[in-house]
Amino acid sequence: MKEYYNLLTKMPLFENLSLEDIQKMLKCLRAQRKIFTKDAFIRNEGDTADFIGIVLKGAIQVLQYDFNGNRTIISHFSEGEMFAEAISCAEIPTLPFSIQAVTDCEILFINEKQMLHQCDGACAFHNRIIQNLLKIVARKNMLLNQKLNYMSHKTTAEKLLSYLNDQAKLHNSNEFTIPYDRQALADYLGVERSAMVAEIGKLKKQGVLETKRSYFKLIKQ
């Protein structure tokens, strides 16, 4: 774990905590590190939701499948990001989604009960961790509302441009790289890949954007 201490100290979950406190916390919260290969399912829908996860290395995606096997990507997480905390805070017993490795990755699993309830040792850092956790859940709720805004648009082009404009704001640049390939982006926006690719082609011809794979450049009109 020593190679990841610098990463952990920069995470919002451990804000205002010293490295010594973080080391004690990992032991108190029964943290376990596990390795997964690309495309492996880290957890499946219906599995027990008894953990909070942190991506130490690589990237993962949270997704759902409907009755017909159609995939919807809910979110994407990379190094230093936390996932499944909202499910734990809501005390939902089983996962309503699956979690898949996008690349080879290492995940730190924290025991949900140890995280959300004061431990027997009454560790001084425990209340701070819970406060930080609540802030993170609130911020992610705002991101969920952002995605609902994309989905509320009627056309594929409107959904796509709404997402790309938010990415430009996030990167503070009209040039940026998104964490999705074409299929994954279509799944995230809830549209057909062929329809989205066609719209991207139209927008390129209209001079609205330039793109290659996951790279996009929005052109001011």
The number of CA neighbours under 13 Å toward the Cβ of 42 is: 34
Average pLDDT, the chain: 90
Domain ranges of the chain: 2-148, 153-218
- In Å, how far are 39, 97, 172, 217 from 68, measured between CA atoms? 20, 15, 39, 35
Residue type, 169: K
Q: What is the tens place of the pLDDT at every residue in 168-202?
A: 999 999 999 999 999 999 999 999 999 999 999 99
Q: Which CATH class is domain 2-148?
A: mainly beta
Answer whether residue 57 shows pLDDT above 80.
Answer: yes
Report the first-to-last Cα separation within the chain, whole angstroms.
Answer: 49
Q: What is the tens place of the pLDDT at every residue in 109-156?
A: 998 888 877 666 656 677 888 889 888 988 888 888 888 899 899 999
Could you tell me the fold of the domain covering 153-218? Answer: Arc Repressor Mutant, subunit A (1.10.10)
Question: How far is Cα 132 from Cα 122, in angstroms, rounded to an integer?
Answer: 17
Spacing of C-alpha 154 from chain mean position: 25
Q: Which two tokens stand for residue 106?
A: 């290492």
> Does the fold of domain 153-218 match that of domain 2-148?
no
Q: Which of 113, 82, 111, 78 is closest to 13 using CA atoms?
A: 82
Whether the model clears a pTM of 0.85, i.e. scores above it, the answer is: no
- Residue 192: CB partners within 8 Å, gap ≥ 6? 156, 186
